[in-house]
Structure 1
Amino acid sequence: MTPETLEVPLPAVTLSCLAWGPADGPLAVLLHGFPDTAWTWRHLGPLLAEQGWRAVAPHTRGYAPSAIPRDGDLHVAALMADAAGVHAALGGDDRAVLVGHDWGAITANALGAHPASPYSRVVTMAVPPLGAMTGNGPFVLARQARMSWYTVFNQLPVLPERTLERLVRHLWAAWSPGYAADEDLEHVLAALREPAHRSAALGYYRAAARPWRVEAAYRDWHRTWTGTPVVPALALHGAQDGCLHPRIAERAGAVLVEGAGHFLQLERPDEVGRLVTGFLTTEPPAS
């Protein structure tokens, strides 16, 4: 199914989005992570559309063809504000759901924890709620520290921008071993071709290390950026993920998807689609 392209103007940025499904269907917003693009949802978007959802996948702020944010803010709180803004701009209602992978998962978990979130449910992939990732032994933590080397590397000035293509190729191969990522790499490298877009994508990591710099407009969102959802939530994780240790994710409540690494929505689209649609069609527990 070929997606539509939507331009969604928000106060600080215009987001270019891929969209599938009927315009009057309940809204499902799909958020990608790093290093990725909205095309990561090319399997789940059409599946949701077949079930009547209006699935909309933004290229998140700073990833072309979306714009560089005018306020320069790349904190999770700004991503939360953008996701809430997409809901408002597209006329979402109380049936709307939010799905996120990687940085998109961090954003979705944070919104799911915030009382002002317009989304009734969240689905996250590859990053469970940050506050739930506790109680892991020293071996697992040491292994994770080695796996997370790139987060420190991305704090350096200039060098990450200059070597970004090499980094992107390496991370896809290391995080999802055996997955043929040619199509995805083409999309990612096109989205990050220009220096300003490269700096923006890397800026997510730099902003996370400097939480005191969040813009005033996003400070209320910021208070739950490491929170655990209070709305119905489903966390999925690849059993062979080379980015975040699967044991950490499992202890945090994630469902492991066998035969998949970090980009599970691409590696096991049928299984991920079954789990997501099953969760979205299940009645919430009585309060």
Structure 2
Amino acid sequence: MTDITHRFVTSESGLRMHVAEAGEGPLVLLLHGFPECWYSWRHQLTALAEAGFHAVAPDQRGYARTGGPDDIGQYTILHLAGDAVGLIGALGADRAVVAGHDWGAPVAWAVAQMRPDKVRGVIGMSVPHRPRSSRPPIASMRRMFGEGYYIVRFQSPDVPEAELDRDRAATFRRMFYGVSGDGPGSAMTAPEGGGLLDVLPEPEKLPSWLTAADIDAYVEEYADSGFTGPINWYRNMDRNWELTAAWHRAPIGPPALYIAGDRDLVAVGAHQVIDSMTDFVPNLRDTVWLSGCGHWTQQERPAEVNEAMLGFLRAL
């Protein structure tokens, strides 16, 4: 089996980033989401390498072994996209296919939109491309979903990371199970006076795609950096809206693929956006729905995701 190796690479953005990589060939950059790290791409790293690609999964800004600055304002979409673009150059490539899951998907879409010269293709998982809205997002989310909604809750200083850092093993078990295809499909809204984990049940048994060793791996990866950096991404959502005015409703030109589970609340709640995505992603080659799959697309359905990715990559 192909080995996954690790090293630190300084992105041309200036951030020293931990990367996991495997294989040689055209570069495929794999951008994880929340609350994940390079490890969420463990199945894709080896499959892509064995198919003749150089697969690289960084710990993104604020996460795991990469860590990041204390300043909340250093976690905007421009910083995140800059890290990814700068990593392409630092890895010795002119261009890459950029794949992203969960929060990694908006970063991948942004890289393809802002720097199409660097992108051979873009793959989004779970989170579709959403054109920039007419107003900042947080007030709208607060109005629609209330103060307990996780993104609104994450705007508060200190409180959300204190909850998630308290028992990281329980946090990962509950989050991965709760919104997976095997879980209850928990809405990520804390009850009044309670915490986010109160609506994410402790699994009686881990699903088949997630082992105790996987949970241990995530706990170990988060040992030094914790949850503050990852949550800082959410604290910049209104700032991102301000900073991306120049790309308001700008199309994404590179060839694209979208993959999602039909039990993923993020995707299911965005059907209208997904159905009209070609209005802004005109070269969307395919939309792949995975039956019975929840939010953790590439972890829950690695074989199907690998097949879809490789089909897309070989056709470029």
Q: What is the TM-score with the length of structure 1 in the denominator?
A: 0.81
The one-letter code sitting in structure 1 at the alignment partner of 2:69 is P
Match of 1:136 in 2: none
1:185 aligns with 2:215: yes
Within 1, Cα distance between the matches of 2:113 and 2:227? 30
1:265 aligns with 2:273: no
Cα deviation, 1:170-213, whole Å, max 9, x if unaligned, reads 3322211424534443333333334x542111000001133378
Match of 2:199 in 1: none
Shift of 1:21: 0.3
Cα deviation, 1:224-266, whole Å, max 9, x if unaligned, reads 4985521101011111113442534642454311121111111
Aligned residues of 1:75 and 1:207 also touching (Cα < 8 A): yes
Relative distance call for 1:46 and 1:103 in structure 2 (3 A) is same
Match of 2:130 in 1: 130
Name the SS for the 1:5 alignment partner.
Answer: strand
Match of 1:209 in 2: 238
Aligned residues of 1:259 and 1:268 also touching (Cα < 8 A): no
Relative distance call for 1:229 and 1:2 in structure 2 (3 A) is same
Within 1, Cα distance between the matches of 2:259 and 2:304? 11
Name the SS for the 2:55 alignment partner.
Answer: strand
Aligned residues of 2:21 and 2:45 also touching (Cα < 8 A): yes
Match of 1:30 in 2: 30
Q: What is the TM-score with the length of structure 2 in the denominator?
A: 0.74
Matched-pair identity in %: 31
Structure 1 residues without counterparts, runs of 5 or longer? 134-140, 214-218
Relative distance call for 1:252 and 1:258 in structure 2 (3 A) is farther
Relative distance call for 1:115 and 1:39 in structure 2 (3 A) is closer
Q: Which moved more, 1:251-260 or 1:274-283?
A: 251-260
Aligned residues of 2:100 and 2:123 also touching (Cα < 8 A): yes
Q: Which moved more, 1:31-40 or 1:247-256?
A: 247-256
User: What is the Cα-based RMSD across aligned positions, in Å?
Assistant: 3.0
Match of 1:17 among 7, 13, 19: 19
Match of 1:245 among 268, 280, 287: 268
Within 2, Cα distance between the matches of 1:229 and 1:184? 35
Cα deviation, 1:105-140, whole Å, max 9, x if unaligned, reads 10111111124541110111010101199xxxxxxx
Within 1, Cα distance between the matches of 2:94 and 2:18? 21
Within 1, Cα distance between the matches of 2:231 and 2:116? 28
Relative distance call for 1:93 and 1:271 in structure 2 (3 A) is same
Within 1, Cα distance between the matches of 2:51 and 2:246? 35
